[in-house]
Amino acid sequence: MGDQMNSVAIDGHPKEKWIPALKDIQVAHYRIEEHVHRTPVLTSRTLDSMFDCQLSFKCENFQRIGAFKIRGAMNAVLSLTDEEAEEGVATHSSGNHAQALALAAKTRGIPAYIVMPENSPKVKVEAVKGYGGRITFCEPTLEARERALKKVQERTGAHFVHPYDDPRVIAGQATVALELIDDVPYLDIIMAPVGGGGLLSGTSLSAAYLSPKTKVIGAEPESVNDAFRSFRTGMVQPPTNGETVADGLRTALSELTFSIIREHVEDIITTKEGNIIAAMRLIWERMKLVVEPSAAVTLACILEGGLDVTGKRVGIILSGGNVDLDRLPWMR
Amino acid sequence: MGDQMNSVAIDGHPKEKWIPALKDIQVAHYRIEEHVHRTPVLTSRTLDSMFDCQLSFKCENFQRIGAFKIRGAMNAVLSLTDEEAEEGVATHSSGNHAQALALAAKTRGIPAYIVMPENSPKVKVEAVKGYGGRITFCEPTLEARERALKKVQERTGAHFVHPYDDPRVIAGQATVALELIDDVPYLDIIMAPVGGGGLLSGTSLSAAYLSPKTKVIGAEPESVNDAFRSFRTGMVQPPTNGETVADGLRTALSELTFSIIREHVEDIITTKEGNIIAAMRLIWERMKLVVEPSAAVTLACILEGGLDVTGKRVGIILSGGNVDLDRLPWMR
């Protein structure tokens, strides 16, 4: 965690895979501050008495673009040198990162080139367009996405911003826990969902630097448990082909996110689909919050009994709230 | 608005129809403080730019029992003398007031007798039971409800707490606007939905006392526009038989709520069903808040264009968030 080197790196060498230091996270927070919301932390008497603990929910569903992803994308885009930024930024994503990068680029006044699978939901395509993103459609395979992205980059010179395998993105996502720890000190546990590991690795760094007694736990759907298996085996495991309502969590860890998670995360636990839906519904009904399935995986793990939270102070990161209101999981 | 007399009345003469003074509202706030939530005020960049104004949403959907009604019921129950309270409280309601009175009674440690129509949704019956309410079922007519309530009162001696035709209840509901005005000064407009008028009359009193330049506007579904017609004709009009998704707003004003509304409310405006559903969906999608249809009627009026809010600072009371997640209005 050499601050000096990292602080140079954060502005100049995005392709190098360094681990964000506390200073990088603090600088990220300062950098993105005026462009993202400081989201509130909410509590629920009902849920506290249901689980006999004190839950503090960090509401990133209220964040701009409806998810925490704007933090990492904004930090990456604002970290670029003028020369790097000039030709714009690019990524392939059908999810929240696409909207996040489009909005971040718009904020900086540069183009965002987004490669999206041709079967992306219309509402997501419209959202990216709404933020001024320039979309290239491709076949819905990882190979086609990467090929299309490469072509876009060759044509435009745009700078690639990966959804999580990027220290600037991780430093941005780490600001969620930085704020949570600031608002709710002495947490025993912080829980975050894990897909590619950008949020979980950032969360674990902020906790390690700012609240080292707090244990960070990752939560993952059982049906796409590659992070769980990576953690157990000590090696990054490939993604499974499993289906989950928490579709934002299907991606695999990168070597970078895994190296951080391995060092700073206490455990990764999994939960069944039924409990993800039940937890999501519980948050909607009792807390009156619209959250997406991925954001409910943490509470689902508690519901499933996989983590003893009795008498504990538990911070839960509600990662986002982007759902299709015409197709809710309990209606399928 | 004789404070002295009212302050006596608030504890001793609930059947007299006095108009709450500022002091009564402040006392109510102090009295219920530890038993209800001070709900947050949330804002939305998206909605502000959509309507070219500054909207401040007072989130009573986060309130205990999921709606503002706990404030009035709690104030009424805690205002009772020990003698009055001894035999318990009673009401007839199938809605939020039933849950509110049950919880308020539980807080004071006295029984709550709730008369509910036999066709009440199971989820509402369970909720009332969950707060310890003792339920008597009756036929789903107003006459049957009143007859059943009278019998319960004769049998138990319980003290009737009306959902809105009661100064103690109105003083309790007035604490919503008291907090809103405290958190967001210099509002040009405060909007509240209107059914029986407890919330709207209380809101208008708080505004008159604490922020007299703020105009209070009531919002009502066009299909059950009795408050709108009462306001226009200067006489309380009977409820219509109209159907509305905002089923909490079907009740008619009382002479008491109307007398306050007539003096302190700037206008009552109405909106079509389609706009209520659209506004509700907008709040869910953009603000990630679960609100019930009744709570969306205010924004629906703005959406419909019935009120010019351009450049204005507008406070909106989101009255509640109790919805059946299996039967959302856009899915029917």
The burial class, CB within 10 Å (0-12 / 13-18 / 19+), for A183 is middle
Q: Is A229 exposed, middle or buried (0-12, 13-18, 19+ CB in 10 A)?
A: middle
CB A221 within 8 A of CB A277: no
Mutate to test the interface with B, among A288, A325, A330 (most CBs of B within 10 A): A288
pLDDT value, residue A6: 37
Tens digits of residue pLDDT in A29-75? 999 999 999 999 999 999 999 999 999 999 999 999 999 999 999 99
Residue B245 sits in the same domain as residue B182: yes
Active site residues of B: 69, 319
Look at the block and give the residue holding tokens 């990161």. Answer: A317
Do the Cβ atoms of B325 and A285 come within 8 Å? yes
Cα three-residue angle B211-B215-B217, rounded to 5 degrees:
130
Q: Kindly state the percentage of chain A with pLDDT values over 90.
A: 86
Phi/psi at B87 (nearest 5 deg)?
-85, 0
**A106 belongs to a structural domain:** yes
Do B130 and B203 belong to one domain? no
Establish if B302 belongs to a structural domain.
yes
Residue A13 belongs to some domain of the structure? no
Whether A122 and A186 share a structural domain: no
- Pair B185, B148 in one domain: no
- Kindly indicate the confidence band of residue A5, based on its pLDDT and cuts at 50, 70 and 90: very low
- CA atoms of B173 and B157, how far apart (whole Å): 26
Report CB contact under 8 Å: B62, A287: yes
Q: Which residue among B45, B62, B288 places its CB closest to the CB of A66?
A: B288
A269 beta partners = A219
Q: Which residues of chain B, if any, have pLDDT below 50?
A: 1-14
Exposure string of A31-57, with b = 16+ CB inside 10 Å and e = fewer, is bbeebbbebebbebeebeeebebbbbb
Residues B185 and B326 in one domain: yes
Would residue B4 count as lying in a domain?
A: no
pTM over 0.90: yes
Task: Measure Cα distances from B46 to A97, A102, A290, B50, B286 in Å.
Answer: 19, 16, 16, 6, 7
Determine how many CB atoms are found less than 10 A away from the CB of residue B52. 10
Q: Indicate whether A12 pLDDT > 50.
A: no
Please give the full DSSP string across A80-97, using - where no structure is assigned.
S-HHHHHT-EEEE-SSHH
DSSP string, A296-314: HHHHHHHHHT-S--TT-EE
Which chain B residues have a beta carbon less than 8 Å from that of A290? 284-285, 288-290
Cβ–Cβ gap B288/A62 under 8 Å: yes
Among the candidates A129, A160, A191, a domain finishes at A160
Model confidence at A327: pLDDT above 50? yes
Mapping DSSP onto H, E and C, the string for B24-57 reads HHHHHHHHHHHHCCCCCEECCHHHHHHHCCEEEE
CA separation for the pair A76, B314 (Å, rounded):
36
Q: In sequence order, what E strands does B118-249 have?
A: 134-138, 159-160, 189-193, 215-221
Residues B189/B217, Cβ–Cβ less than 8 Å: yes
Are B197 and B302 contained in the same domain?
yes
Which distant-in-sequence residues (6+ apart) come within 8 Å of B316 by Cβ?
Answer: B55, B56, B57, B58, B190, B191, B298, B299
Nearest to A203 by CA among A187, A188, A214, A192: A192
pLDDT mean over A124-135:
93
Q: Could you say which DSSP state residue B245 is in? A: S
Chain B residue numbers with beta carbons less than 8 Å from the beta carbon of A331 are: 326, 331
Cβ-based contacts of B130 with chain A (< 8 Å): none
A321 touches chain B (CB under 8 A): yes
What beta strand segments (E) does A73-173 contain?
89-92, 112-117, 134-138, 159-160
Let me know if residue B12 belongs to a domain.
no
- Tell if the CB–CB gap between A328 and B325 is shorter than 8 Å: yes
Angle at B109 between CA B106 and CA B114, to 5 degrees: 45
| Full domain range(s) for residue B106 | 69-160
Q: Which amino acid is at B314?
A: V
A327 by Cβ neighbours in 10 Å (0-12 / 13-18 / 19+) ranks as exposed
Q: What 3-state class would DSSP assign to B129?
A: helix
- When CB atoms are compared, the residue of A40, A284, A326 closest to B290 is A284
Q: Does A61 touch chain B (CB under 8 A)?
A: yes
Token reading at A151: 């072509």
The greatest distance separating any two alpha carbons of chain B, rounded to the nearest whole angstrom, comes to: 57
Give kind and range of the element (H or E) at residue B201.
Answer: helix B198-210
**B189 and B269, same structural domain?**
yes
Q: Report the residue of chain A nearest B320, measured CA to CA.
A: A288
Q: Is the sign of the CA dihedral B110, B111, B117, B118 positive or negative?
A: positive
Torsion of CA B32, B37, B43, B46, to 10 degrees: -130
- Is A150 a domain residue? yes
| B263-to-A310, B14, B40, B199, B224 alpha-carbon distances in Å | 53, 22, 29, 15, 22
pLDDT at A116 over 90: yes
Annotated catalytic residues of A are 69, 319
Residue B65 amino acid letter: I
| Residue that is written with structure tokens 């391995």 in the block | A262
Residue type at A54 in one-letter notation: Q
Do A43 and A192 fall within a single domain? yes
Instruction: Say if B282 falls within a structural domain.
Output: yes
Domain co-membership, A310 together with A243: yes
Question: Does the CB of A124 have a partner CB in chain B at under 8 Å?
Answer: no
User: Is the alpha carbon torsion for B274, B279, B285, B289 positive or negative?
Assistant: negative
Q: Compute the distance between CA of residue B317 and CA of residue B297 in angstroms, rounded to an integer.
A: 10
Q: Which SS3 state, helix, strand or coil, does residue B268 take?
A: strand
Q: How far is A319 from chain B (nearest CA, A)?
A: 12
Instruction: Please give the structure tokens belonging to residue B291.
Output: 């609100």
Residue A170: both structure tokens together: 């991780």
Residue A7 scores a pLDDT above 70: no
Confidence of residue A225 (pLDDT cuts 50, 70, 90): very high
pLDDT band at A15 (very low <50, low <70, confident <90, very high): low
Residue percentage of chain A with pLDDT more than 70: 95
In tens, the pLDDT along B16-61 reads 789 999 999 999 999 999 999 999 999 999 999 999 999 999 999 9
Chain B contact present for A105, CB below 8 A: no
Tell me what ipTM this predicted complex has.
0.92
Q: Judge if B76 and B208 occupy the same domain.
A: no
Which of B278, B57, B317 has the alpha carbon at shortest distance from B199? B317
Of B78, B71, B77, B79, nearest in space to B36 by CA: B71
Q: Can you count the helices (H) and strands (E) in chain B?
A: 14, 10
Indicate the number of domains in chain B.
Answer: 2
Q: How many residues does chain B have?
A: 332
Please say which residue of B93, B127, B160 terminates a domain.
Answer: B160
Best of B288, B294, B324, B326 to disrupt the A interface (most A CBs within 10 Å) is B288
The verdict on A61 and A180 lying in the same domain is: yes
- One domain, residues A220 and A96: no
- Domain of residue B111, CATH code: 3.40.50.1100
Cβ contact, residue pair B284, A291, below 8 Å = no
Kindly report the average pLDDT of chain A as a whole number.
93
Q: Is A33 an 8 Å CB contact of chain B?
A: no
Q: Decide: A85 and A110 in contact? Cβ < 8 Å.
A: yes
| Chosen domain end from A106, A132, A160 | A160
- Residue B142, phi then psi, degrees to nearest 5: -60, -40
In a domain, A303, yes or no: yes
Q: How many residues does chain A have?
A: 332
Q: How far apart are the C-alpha atoms of A13 and A323, rounded to whole Å?
A: 35
Tokens found for residue A208:
């390690």
Q: What angle do CA B166, B171, B173 make, to 5 degrees?
A: 95
Record the tokens describing residue A163, joined without a space. 């959804």
Q: Which of A40, A59, A281 sits opposite B325 (nearest CB)?
A: A281
Q: How distant is the alpha carbon of residue A32 from its chain centre?
A: 16
B106 to chain A, any CB pair closer than 8 A? The answer is no
Enclosing H/E stretch for A261: helix A255-264
Show Cβ contacts of residue B168 under 8 Å, excluding neighbours closer than 6 positions.
Answer: B10, B14, B28, B72, B75, B76, B79
B161, B77 Cβ separation under 8 angstroms: yes
pLDDT band, very low/low/confident/very high, at A331 (cuts 50, 70, 90): confident
